[in-house]
Homo-oligomer: A and B are copies of this chain.
Amino acid sequence: MSETISEAPAFRPLYVQVRDTLLKRLISGSWTPGMMLPSEFQLAKELGVSQGTVRKALDAMTAEHLLLRRQGRGTFVALPEEGRILFKFFRMVADGGERLFPLSQIVGRGRSKASAADCARLALPAKAEVWWIDRIRQLGGKPVIFERIRLPVSRFPQLGDMADIPNNVYALYSEEFGITIGKAEEKLKAALVDEAAASHLGCEAGRPVLIIERVAMALDDTPIEHRLSTCLTDECHYQAEL
């Protein structure tokens, strides 16, 4: 009879190990966005595996939008601006179907003690501090989204010194703080607009709004950003494919 020790699965395919190795280079920043990777053959030689195995790892990472491969050119670390990748993180669309990138206007910033809920969502110790950023976003020329972003001060130490916050904050996280957002989770509810949002969006009280709560994760799955968006959906909608 074999031992009844509860063993870990413990079988990790080679290409998964290769993927992890390459992912570490992205996380550590030794490969930075836009950079071209060594060719499949070079990586295979360096890691002591076959080219097919490297390819399988690269293909998996490409499917996650971490890399970008172009036949004849090479394999590149994905940029946070890369058009369709930002689709991934912005699902509000004008009813007409136009794909617009919403402009933002910062209406408030600050630093405060994280609430218990924030600590839980961002996996922070008690008494941690967070930056908060309030902004309004426009879709069809009208302000339709009011959102409040919270970021752990520990991860973004110099954020308070920055004169202004760009429209594309994920590019900011990447370029200024070396943090790449890999995925996010969103929860949607309908509610009546609250006072703060109503005043910023210039709408009357009692309007129904779409509330989107997002937690965005870094490549190593650490929660990085919490974002609460309040959206007027008269002329736009949240679009999903399944």
Contact = CB atoms under 8 A, between A and B. Distances in A.
A185 B241 contact: yes
Contacts of A242: 88-89, 91, 183-186
A233 interface: yes
A35 interface: no
A242 B242 CA distance: 12
Interface in A199-236: 206, 208-211, 231, 233
Contacts of A47: none
Contacts of A186: 239-242
Interface stretch (A20-28, A103-111, A188-196): A188-196
Contacts of A187: 237-240
Integer count of this chain's copies in the complex: 2
A210 B188 contact: yes
A190 B233 contact: yes
A206 B189 CA distance: 16
Contacts of A192: 208
Interface of A: 88-89, 91, 183-192, 206, 208-211, 231, 233, 237-242
Q: Which 7 A-B pairs have the closest CB atoms?
A: A189-B233, A208-B208, A188-B238, A190-B190, A190-B210, A190-B208, A187-B237
Given A187-B237, A190-B210, A190-B231, 8 more contacts: A88-B242, A183-B242, A184-B241, A187-B238, A188-B188, A189-B210, A190-B208, A206-B206
